[in-house]
Amino acid sequence: MSKNKPILMQGNEACARGALAAGCRFFAGYPITPSSEIAEVLSEELPKIGGRFIQMEDEIASIAAVIGASLTGCKSMTATSGPGLSLKAENIGYASIAEVPCVIVDVQRVGPSTGGPTAPSQGDVMQARWGTHGDHPIIALAPNSVKETFEVTIKAFNLSEQFRVPVILLLDEVIGHMRERVVLPDIDSIQIIDRKKATVPPEEYLPYKPDKDGVPEMASYGDGYRFHVTGLTHDETGFPNTGSENTDYLIRRLHEKIEKNLDKIIMVDEYFMDDAEIALFAYGSPSRSSLSAVRKAREEGIKVGLIRPVTIWPFPAEVVRKAARKVKKIIVPEMNLGQLIGEVEKHVKSDAEVIGLNRVDGELITPQEVMEKIKEVL
């Protein structure tokens, strides 16, 4: 049990506190609703512990500064909402190909465009996956409570550091702005992962030579390694190499370092799935309404369960495939017109019927709505 006392905390604040606990010492951002509290908390807290905060001139500059800071060996983060994620897209791809660890928080609002800045949605799920051009690996995590936002922000840093990949933390306006009673875990009990530092002397260092786990060791700027980083396709030396064989090798390796470590990356909770005939597949805010509906339905003797992924990218395909062989129907509640449902359908194939439950009015999906849907498909 944690020795910490219960406190009332907002989701965005939990994100900022999680970042600090994870070792984040650099934040660059640009004001945008509904994420600005993350920047505000970090502007106050970072300098107290020797960290650095900067409000940049725009969203693009913010992610650029974060990547620059990370190359000096500093754990770094930025936070935004959908419009800002669109602007950051190009440099997220840069972090992906140059393998620079960083965390990008997207507190989703309803969209497209300026949309509804203070209304929640899950409209950025596919943008998180495919927002930047080209084939690239990405990790995206979607917590569903204030406490979990604290924990998953730490996890986001850990995964980013371990696999040298940008990690997108997908909150939504409700998670970001909601206040809940939380008991934070003891600092000593939190696992913190740091990037692998260069272990060889500078003259032997190959900045993009992968270890057995597919991830190269990472030197820091200023440590005497004098290495080159580019967004061009490059070989193990880090210098441009646009040859077809090398390009193929690089792009595949970037994906393999994620695909070969799915067990360390994918986090999924399952509730009442043992004997379920209907499964709900829900993440973020709708997963709370879904769990509530599942409990209610069980009281009425309806055999329904819940699959609740925290990791949405890489997609937890195996869990879905396994469930599809057991249940007849899978309901996917999402605060969008059906984004992750496409991924569910892809892996379910014809093993089960997949049904969407969607809202795009900037309001939450309620437990009653989920319940009605369960009864409708019975």
Partner 1 sequence: MQELLDKYFRKDKLPHIWCPGCGHGIVLGAVVRAIDKVNLDPDKTTVVSGIGCSSRAPGYMKFDTLHTTHGRALAFATGVKHAKPELNVLVLTGDGDAAAIGGNHLIHAARRNIDITAVLFNNNIYGMTGGQYSPLTPTGKVATTAPYGNIDQAFDICNLAIAAGATYVARGTVYNVTQLIGLISKGIQNKGFSLIEVITQCPTVYGRRNKMGTTIDMMKWQKENTVNVKAAKKMSKEQLKGKILVGELYSDTRPEYTEQYTKIVERLQKEGQ
Positions that interact with partner 1 (CB under 8 A): 25-26, 28, 47-48, 50, 52, 54, 56-58, 60-62, 64-74, 76, 90-91, 94, 221-232, 239-240
Taking the complex as a whole, how short is the minimal distance between the CB of residue 61 and partner 1, in angstroms? 4
Taking the complex as a whole, the smallest distance from the CB of residue 164 to partner 1 amounts, in Å, to 16
Minimum Å distance from CB 208 to partner 1? 14
In angstroms, what is the minimal distance from the CB of 199 to partner 1? Answer: 18
Long-range own/partner contacts, residues 224-228 (CB < 8 A, 24 or more apart): 225/198, 226/202
- Minimum Å gap between C-beta 40 and partner 1 is 16
Nearest distance from C-beta of residue 94 to partner 1, angstroms = 5
Q: Closest Cα partner for 324 from 340, 339, 307?
A: 307
Look-up of token digits 């393999």: 256
Per DSSP, 312 falls in state E
Give the three-state DSSP class for 182. strand
Q: How far is the CB of 148 from partner 1 (least distance, A)?
A: 29
Q: How far is the CB of 46 from partner 1 (least distance, A)?
A: 9
Name the residue nearer to partner 1 (CB basis): 222 or 342.
Answer: 222
Biggest alpha carbon–alpha carbon distance for the chain: 69
Residue 122 or 132: which CB sits closer to partner 1? 132
Toward partner 1, which CB reaches closer, 130 or 225? 225
135 vs 300, beta carbon nearer partner 1 = 135
Question: How would you list the strands of the sheet with 268-271, edge to edge?
Answer: 268-271, 304-309, 278-281, 329-334, 353-358
> 31 vs 222, which CB is nearer to partner 1?
222
CB atoms inside a 10 Å sphere around CB 226: 11
Task: Find the shortest distance in angstroms from Cβ 52 to partner 1.
Answer: 5
Residue number, 251 or 267, with CB nearest to partner 1: 251
With CA atoms as reference, report the closest residue to 99 among 194, 28, 167, 200: 167
Contacts of residue 271, defined as CB under 8 A and 6 or more positions apart, other chains included, come to 291, 294, 305, 306, 308
Q: Which is nearer to partner 1, 73 or 185 (CB)?
A: 73
> Given the complex with partner 1, which of 239 and 272 has the nearer CB atom?
239
φ, ψ for residue 218, nearest 5 deg: -125, 115
Q: 295-298 long-range contacts, Cβ below 8 Å, gap at least 24?
A: 296/367, 296/371, 297/371, 297/374, 298/272
3-state SS of 67-130 is HHHHHCCCCEEEEECHHHHHHHHHHHHHHHHHCCCEEEEEEEEECCCCCEEEEECCCCHHHHHH
Handedness of CA 262, 64, 194, 269 (dihedral sign): negative
Cβ distance to partner 1 smaller for residue 209 or 326? 209
Residue 349, by phi and psi: left (phi above 0), alpha (psi -120 to 50) or beta?
left
Omega cis (within 30) before 207:
no
